Amino acid sequence: MMTRQQLLDLYFLEARGKLIEVAAFLDRVERGEGEADFRLAELRRAVTILSRPEADKARQVLMALSDPTTEPIPTATTKGACGAWPSGGN
C-alpha cells in the first residue's frame, strides 16, 4: 500500500481535473433553460458525500445513486439505465 503522499503525487491532478469537470457540468446544466429531472437532485445529494470523513465514499456515492428496493419490477419497459434513482430525498 502506498503512502498518502505517494497517492497524492500519483492521482491529485487527475482528481482535480475530474472535480472541475463536475463543477463545469453543474454550471452548464444551470445555464441551460427548462426544468431538470431527478438526476440533477440526486447528483447534488451524492456530491455532499465527498465531504464526509469515512474512507468509504465511492461505495456511498454508488449507493446514493442506486435503486434500494428489493422486489423485481413487473415488466422491463426499457433496456437502458439512467445512472440515478429518484429517491425524493429519502
Partner 1 sequence: MRYIEPHAHMVSRVTDDYQDMVTSGCQAVCEPAFWAGFDRSSAEGFRDYFAQLTEHEPKRAAKFGLPHFCWLCINPKESEDVKLAEEVLALIPRFLERPSVLGIGEIGLNKNSRNELKVLERHVDLAARCDQLILVHTPHLEDKFKGTRLTLDALRGDRRIRPERCIIDHVEEHTVRMVLDAGFWAGMTLYPETKCTPARAIDILDRYGQERLWLNSACDWGVSVPLSVPRTALEMRRRGYSAERIDQIVYQNPRAFLSQCPKFHLAS
Site residues for partner 1 per CB under 8 A: 1-2, 6, 10-11, 14, 58-59, 62-63, 65-70, 72-85
Q: How far is the CB of 8 from partner 1 (least distance, A)?
A: 13
Q: Name which of 23 and 83 has its Cβ closer to partner 1.
A: 83
Nearest to 64 by CA among 29, 28, 80, 88: 88
Q: Name which of 9 and 27 has its Cβ closer to partner 1.
A: 9
Q: How far is the CB of 71 from partner 1 (least distance, A)?
A: 9
**Residue 79 burial (C-beta neighbours within 10 Å; 0-12, 13-18, 19+):** exposed
Q: Name which of 3 and 33 has its Cβ closer to partner 1.
A: 3
CB atoms within 10 A of CB 43: 19
Q: How far is the CB of 60 from partner 1 (least distance, A)?
A: 8
The enclosing H or E element of 21 equals helix 4-31
**What is d(CA 84, CA 87) in angstroms, rounded to the nearest whole number?**
9
